[in-house]
Amino acid sequence: MPTLAELNAASASAFTDLLDGVYEHSRWIAARTWAARPFATLAALKAALVQTVRQASRDEQLGLIRAHPELAGKAAVAGQLTAESTDEQSRAGLSHCTPDEFARINALNAEYTARFGWPFILAVRGPRGAGLSRAQIIATLERRTDNPPDFEFAEALRQIHRIAELRLNDKFGFVPEQGNRVWDWCEHLATHSEPAWKERGELTTTYLTDAHRAAAAEIAATMRECGFDTVDIDAVGNVVGVYPGSDPAAPRLLTGSHYDTVRNAGKYDGRIGHFIPMACVRAMHRAGRRLPFGLEVVAFAEEEGQRYKATFLGSGALTGAFNPAWLDQQDRDGISMRDAMRHAGLPADLPAIAALRRDAARYLGFVEVHIEQGPVLGALDLPLGIVTSINASVRCVGEIIGMASHAGTTPMNARRDAACAAAELALFLERRAAADGDSVGTVGLLEVPGGSINVVPGRCRFSLDIRAPNNAQRDAVLADTRTELAAICARRKLRFTLEQTMREQAATSDPALQQHWERSVAALGLPLHHLPSGAGHDAMMLHTVMPQAMLFVRGENAGISHNPLESSTADDLDLACAAFQHLLDTLAAS
Amino acid sequence: MPTLAELNAASASAFTDLLDGVYEHSRWIAARTWAARPFATLAALKAALVQTVRQASRDEQLGLIRAHPELAGKAAVAGQLTAESTDEQSRAGLSHCTPDEFARINALNAEYTARFGWPFILAVRGPRGAGLSRAQIIATLERRTDNPPDFEFAEALRQIHRIAELRLNDKFGFVPEQGNRVWDWCEHLATHSEPAWKERGELTTTYLTDAHRAAAAEIAATMRECGFDTVDIDAVGNVVGVYPGSDPAAPRLLTGSHYDTVRNAGKYDGRIGHFIPMACVRAMHRAGRRLPFGLEVVAFAEEEGQRYKATFLGSGALTGAFNPAWLDQQDRDGISMRDAMRHAGLPADLPAIAALRRDAARYLGFVEVHIEQGPVLGALDLPLGIVTSINASVRCVGEIIGMASHAGTTPMNARRDAACAAAELALFLERRAAADGDSVGTVGLLEVPGGSINVVPGRCRFSLDIRAPNNAQRDAVLADTRTELAAICARRKLRFTLEQTMREQAATSDPALQQHWERSVAALGLPLHHLPSGAGHDAMMLHTVMPQAMLFVRGENAGISHNPLESSTADDLDLACAAFQHLLDTLAAS
């Protein structure tokens, strides 16, 4: 088994030989990467190999893809696979397909290859490094055959890099132990799902349901097992673990994220934000190590606003943002939040909730690790990203009112077509946001209510969702969009309504804390990439009272989130654990 | 009581005096119209006065509008109205408002005036010349307050012209007797409505329902009363009246339209197409007059395709287009067309239906009078229009498939937004159709299925409805739209589906028959205006076997149709009767 030191010291040809088999039949990748030595970490080596492929021509990339065998294909049957492929396909049980499964995979392979012109490639050892089931493989093959070709081309390369990552781990004897641990915790926590969803194998854990309480109990138990000195469930259901520092008077570092979920959720959204710090505490505790400052990890009970319209309830309770009126809100079944709290054994008592408010002077700040929930890091093949700001956002719903008329008998110059006006608006917002740096603008709702093929639309409903790195940019995009809407309607002689339904301020990362994240990522040998957070996070709430900075972990499957396809890998989670430990270490040193 | 001859012979000031009070406090209109003498008909005088107002400046038009009193306003209460206004408001019972009605009208008047800057004007004597009810007046005031200002400005002028028309009728002792008759027939026929709709005061008469059969019986009885020699209900439910000519061997003229309706329909769509010829037959019969050729008037049983998907069934039966498979079609209640026919006393027998096919050699051709169902004639203040062609049409439904993603975290350059693509398509079709003469193109259905404010649309459904004066133009617009759709999707990396659901060939008017209509309209002293029909009509079916040409009658309320607001006036219907009689006379002479 080679070491990184041997690799760094190797000649070009020895280097290429050492990495033979990492990228299937494609020694040119290792050969071209040799010049980038030395590699401080295995992660740095992986990143350099990825970079070589990114810089190759499209024909070379296509050649790399086509160098891979079909899954359970003729080469496998004929015993013509590389040793690595044989091992991987056999771990996934592909050598034990039933005749039906074999026929299905072959038919899907043929359809896929006919559509794209290259073989279907999947890291069959999966995100945790264990073999995917044959059913999972077939489902993925079915799903990915629907992808647009350019998207699937990129996905094939991502799978190849993942295969290479697992082969490199084997080659260098590396096991992402912390990542596996966090992965397993996420997996087990996801077994607590509300009955109707659990039946379908889906994850839904909304505020103070039985599944939610079971999840809280499990997090608390895991915290105790990690070695936190105190573990409590507070008056709103937050699970709070404290790992005191060597100086009890020193300000603590606050971290965490939420454990509630949306309906039919992914397993990583929120949850890795407490599990990653917990893995670090577990390691420090086992090493008998204390930081100079205390670490307070909070698994927030509520962030998603699913059961009650009370988004960010968990983190809001720490900043005094709990709205007393929420206690009287009812869920779909008519159960008030007050009753739900009592049922969960919480006091449902306003003074007790108010007492959760943290004194910012007693904290160094708040850091939060979160899955990206977007495609940026995946598209760049980067496992971690530095969050510069949680974007300011505003949402509106509106309606354009024209005049419905006969599609055959109303001349083009006599129309008051509400849908064409909405079309102009959607394209304006798209252009305006694209011209505004990191801002985004979306018309997500668009509908001609009660429309007919043969009727000129008299009404069109739409929504606006605008997010920008700072409040001023957000406000300018909205103002321009509203001005354009008015101009469109004036020109087309239409009326409109526009109602604002949500508005959140930007939360710019604290420069000092952000710099700690940057140092941690750089220390892992990874390229730095800065990006804003387009989604809201608990850090937004803490931002109102203390400095904060977030770290993003790449999401698989183009960053899809709020969906069972949301995923991460044990390797990425392991890097996030390492980055978090680095952050603790540099904070301790400073 | 003055005569038209006296008016034509009058000096400018005498002319203006004679027409005093026709346009409220606005003698300039008569004064400027004097130069246009002589007027062959009262209709020509009305048209000339309208033309004067159309040629006036916007300020003069606004002055004309503001010269009118508020309905039931302070001037009425103080007895300061013109004699004409006092008479009209009193006929509408506005002098007998309850205190609540008075308060409601005053509040609405105030709201209307505040919105538009001029008083609400309504021809309270209504389309039949009788007074509108106070409830109708209040409902109209409410509805029109929602209009866009430029639209309402034009509507106010249209109401003023209608008021002037009624005042001129009084001044010259003119009663539109044939128009009143057709109006009354339409009104009474509309009492036959299906029970659920009738309860709500709405008109729905779909194929072979009890209401439909009662309507057929009433049309047949009216035909007999008019003096048709033979009246039959044929094997598909068409009501056929024959008024033979003096030469039994001469080819007949075929005319008519449909008596079935859409759901919650207007009272004029289709029905005036048989009632107007019937009124002419009634007059000829009473005068003991025969044409040299026979006149065959058919009230078609089915055109709208509401109960069964068998559009143009009635007229199609005359051209051999009855589809035998239709007999097995079921309505919403599971009743087959065969059973519905038997229940209606029809033979439900294919040979009997096939026997309805007409031998084109035995006909001069087919003419059809129809309400415009569009805004063109109303916008031009013309009661009648010459149809040049029933437009070719094509309908498609489609879907653009992109990729749903998080509206906050997906950068603008990483989106596959199906709604923005559909927006581009809608605007392309709008531009392309507008640049194509009389063609029209509509995206009537537009929807992001299951869309959310915070999700980039992954799918967008849409429809296309394209109509053009000839098949080649229609096909070119569709081909260009499809090419653009493919280009949009290629550029945005999306997929799409596009399925054609309907395609109808253009039916160009027969030049000789069209010329007869032109001569008839010109003989009434009315300006000629040519327009295509954007909607399909029974003439489309007859077009496949014989020459055809249509005449359009202006629709009130911007030409709205398939709606209870669809309306005509007794005066316009009277002109249509006169035009039809002229057509018969010129055909007889030729």
pLDDT for B297-348, tens place per residue?
A: 999 999 999 999 898 999 999 999 999 999 999 999 999 999 999 999 999 9
Angle between helices A272-286 and A177-189 (to 10 degrees): 130
Name the residue of chain A whose CA is nearest to B432's CA: A412
CA distances, B529 to each of A91, A515, B155, B517, B580 (Å): 80, 76, 20, 11, 17
Q: Which two tokens stand for residue B145?
A: 């307050």
CA B571 to chain centre: 15
Record: contact A446-B457, CB cut-off 8 A: yes
pLDDT at B24: 92
Higher pLDDT among residues A467 and B102, named by residue: A467
CA distances, A12 to each of A22, A39, B30, B397 (Å): 16, 14, 102, 60
DSSP category for residue B326: G
Name the residue of chain B whose CA is nearest to A402's CA: B148
Record: contact A448-B444, CB cut-off 8 A: yes
Q: Do the Cβ atoms of B112 and B140 come closer than 8 Å?
A: no
Chain B: closest CA distance from residue A273 (Å)? 18
Which of B433, B447, B456 is closest, CB to CB, to A412?
Answer: B433
B202 and B165, same structural domain? no
DSSP H helices, B117-209, are 134-144, 149-172, 177-189, 195-199
pLDDT digits (tens, 9 = 90+) for B185-237: 999 999 999 999 999 999 999 999 999 999 999 999 999 999 999 999 999 99
B385 and B396, same structural domain? no
Residues of B in contact with A407 (CB under 8 A): 440, 442, 444, 465, 467, 534
Best residue of A446, A496, A529 to probe chain B, by most B CBs closer than 10 Å: A446
Answer yes or no: is the ipTM higher than 0.90.
Answer: no
pLDDT digits (tens, 9 = 90+) for B4-28: 999 999 999 999 999 999 999 999 9
Residues of A in contact with B264 (CB under 8 A): none
Rounded mean pLDDT of chain B?
Answer: 95
Which of B373, B412, B453 is closest, CB to CB, to A409?
Answer: B373
The Cα angle at residue B191 between residues B185 and B196, in degrees rounded to 5: 155
Question: Can you tell me the distance from the alpha carbon of B34 to that of B8, in angstroms, rounded to the nearest whole number?
Answer: 8
Chain A: closest CA distance from residue B40 (Å)? 32
> 10 Å Cβ neighbour count for A204?
23
Structural domains in chain A (count): 3
Residue B371, strand partner residues: B553
Q: Do the Cβ atoms of A455 and A408 come closer than 8 Å?
A: no
Q: With 80 as the cut, is the pLDDT of residue B377 above it? A: yes
Q: With 80 as the cut, is the pLDDT of residue B79 above it? A: no
Chain A: closest CA distance from residue B88 (Å)? 31
The CATH number assigned to the domain holding B108 equals 1.10.3330.10
pLDDT digits (tens, 9 = 90+) for B47-70: 999 999 999 999 999 999 999 998
Q: Which residues of A405-416 are buried (b: 16+ CB within 10 A; e: fewer)?
A: bbbbbbbbebbb
A263 and A117, same structural domain? no
Record: contact B374-A408, CB cut-off 8 A: yes
Record: contact A406-B558, CB cut-off 8 A: no
Record: contact A442-B495, CB cut-off 8 A: no
Record: contact B374-A410, CB cut-off 8 A: yes
- How sure is the predictor about B85, in pLDDT bands with cuts at 50, 70 and 90? confident
Q: What is the pLDDT along chain A (590 residues), one digit of tens a residue?
A: 899 999 999 999 999 999 999 999 999 999 999 999 999 999 999 999 999 999 999 999 999 999 999 887 777 777 788 888 888 888 777 878 888 888 999 999 999 999 999 999 999 998 998 889 989 999 999 999 988 899 999 999 999 999 999 999 999 999 999 999 999 999 999 999 999 999 999 999 999 999 999 999 999 999 999 999 999 999 999 999 999 999 999 999 999 999 999 999 999 999 999 999 999 999 999 999 999 999 999 999 999 999 998 989 999 999 999 999 999 999 999 999 999 999 999 999 999 999 999 999 999 999 999 999 999 999 999 999 999 999 999 999 999 999 888 999 999 999 999 999 999 999 999 999 999 988 999 999 999 998 889 899 999 999 999 999 999 999 999 999 999 999 999 999 999 999 998 999 999 999 999 999 999 999 999 999 999 999 999 999 999 999 999 999 999 998 988 899 999 999 999 999 999 999 999 999 98
Q: Do the Cβ atoms of B186 and B268 come closer than 8 Å?
A: yes
Which of B397, B423, B559 is closest, CB to CB, to A427?
Answer: B423
> 10 Å Cβ neighbour count for B265?
26
User: Where a domain ends, among A445, A470, A504?
Assistant: A504
The Cα angle at residue B330 between residues B329 and B336, in degrees rounded to 5: 85
Best residue of A262, A401, A453, A465 to probe chain B, by most B CBs closer than 10 Å: A453
pLDDT digits (tens, 9 = 90+) for B464-480: 999 999 999 999 999 99
Structural domain span for residue B428: 392-504
The identity of residue B369, as a single letter, is: V
B347 and B424, same structural domain? no
Residues of A in contact with B448 (CB under 8 A): 444-447
DSSP H helices, B503-569, are 511-523, 538-543, 556-559
Name the residue of chain B whose CA is nearest to A428's CA: B420
Residues of B in contact with A430 (CB under 8 A): 412, 417, 420
Best residue of A143, A409, A494, A556 to probe chain B, by most B CBs closer than 10 Å: A409
User: Which residues are within 8 A (CB) of B354 and not within 5 positions of it... i.e. 6 or more apart?
Assistant: B320, B322
Residues of A in contact with B561 (CB under 8 A): 406, 409
Record: contact B446-A465, CB cut-off 8 A: no
B480 and B377, same structural domain? no
Which of A409, A452, A454 is closest, CB to CB, to B374?
Answer: A409
Record: contact A408-B419, CB cut-off 8 A: no
A133 and A244, same structural domain? no
Chain B: closest CA distance from residue A147 (Å)? 9
User: Which residues are within 8 A (CB) of A506 and not within 5 positions of it... i.e. 6 or more apart?
Assistant: A389, A390, A391, A392, A468, A469, A470, A471, A474
Q: Do the Cβ atoms of B482 and B413 come closer than 8 Å?
A: no
- How sure is the predictor about B384, in pLDDT bands with cuts at 50, 70 and 90? very high
**Could you give phi then psi for residue A232, rounded to 5 degrees?**
-135, 155
Chain B: closest CA distance from residue A80 (Å)? 37
Which of A448, A463, A495 is closest, CB to CB, to B445?
Answer: A448
User: Where a domain ends, among A138, A172, A206?
Assistant: A172
Best residue of B304, B427, B446 to probe chain A, by most A CBs closer than 10 Å: B446
User: Where a domain ends, among A172, A196, A223?
Assistant: A172
**How many pairs of residues across A and B have Cβ atoms under 8 Å apart?**
242
CA-CA-CA-CA dihedral for A376, A382, A386, A392, to nearest 10? 10
DSSP category for residue B336: B
The identity of residue B264, as a single letter, is: N
Chain A: closest CA distance from residue B575 (Å)? 22
Chain B: closest CA distance from residue A545 (Å)? 24
Find the helix or strand (DSSP H, E) in which A167 lies: helix A149-172
Name the residue of chain A whose CA is nearest to B390's CA: A408
What value does the CA radius of gyration of chain B take, rounded to a whole number of Å? 26
Q: Which residue carries 């008839």 as its tokens?
A: B520
Q: With 90 as the cut, is the pLDDT of residue B417 above it? A: yes
Chain B: closest CA distance from residue A388 (Å)? 13
A135 and A67, same structural domain? yes
Record: contact B448-A451, CB cut-off 8 A: no
Which of A406, A441, A467 is closest, CB to CB, to B374?
Answer: A406
Question: Can you tell me the distance from the alpha carbon of A576 to that of A131, in angstroms, rounded to the nearest whole number?
Answer: 23
Record: contact A446-B447, CB cut-off 8 A: yes
CA A358 to chain centre: 28
Find the helix or strand (DSSP H, E) in which B297 lies: strand B295-300
pLDDT at A325: 94
**Could you give phi then psi for residue A158, rounded to 5 degrees?**
-60, -40
Q: Do the Cβ atoms of B298 and B240 come closer than 8 Å?
A: yes
Residue A195 exposure: Cα atoms within 13 Å on the Cβ side: 1
HEC sequence for A446-515: EECCCCCCCEECCEEEEEEEEEECCHHHHHHHHHHHHHHHHHHHHHHCCEEEEEEEEEECCEECCHHHHH
Record: contact B409-A448, CB cut-off 8 A: no
Chain B: closest CA distance from residue A146 (Å)? 10
A416 and A381, same structural domain? no
Record: contact A534-B409, CB cut-off 8 A: yes
User: Which residues are within 8 A (CB) of A201 and not within 5 positions of it... i.e. 6 or more apart?
Assistant: none
Higher pLDDT among residues B487 and A311, named by residue: B487
Name the residue of chain A whose CA is nearest to B380's CA: A414
Residue A446, strand partner residues: A462
B378 and B246, same structural domain? yes
Which of A406, A408, A412 is closest, CB to CB, to B430?
Answer: A412
Chain A: closest CA distance from residue B447 (Å)? 4
A268 and A205, same structural domain? yes
CA A524 to chain centre: 20
Record: contact A413-B434, CB cut-off 8 A: yes
Q: Global pTM?
A: 0.85
A348 and A215, same structural domain? yes
DSSP category for residue A558: G
End-to-end CA distance of chain B: 38
> What is the dihedral sign for C-alpha B15, B21, B25, B29?
negative
Chain B: closest CA distance from residue A291 (Å)? 35
Q: Which two tokens stand for residue A95?
A: 């050598």
Name the residue of chain A whose CA is nearest to B457's CA: A444
Query: Which regions of B477-547 does DSSP assign to beta strands (E)?
Result: 495-504, 507-508, 530-533
B193 and B119, same structural domain? no
The CATH number assigned to the domain holding B476 equals 3.30.70.360
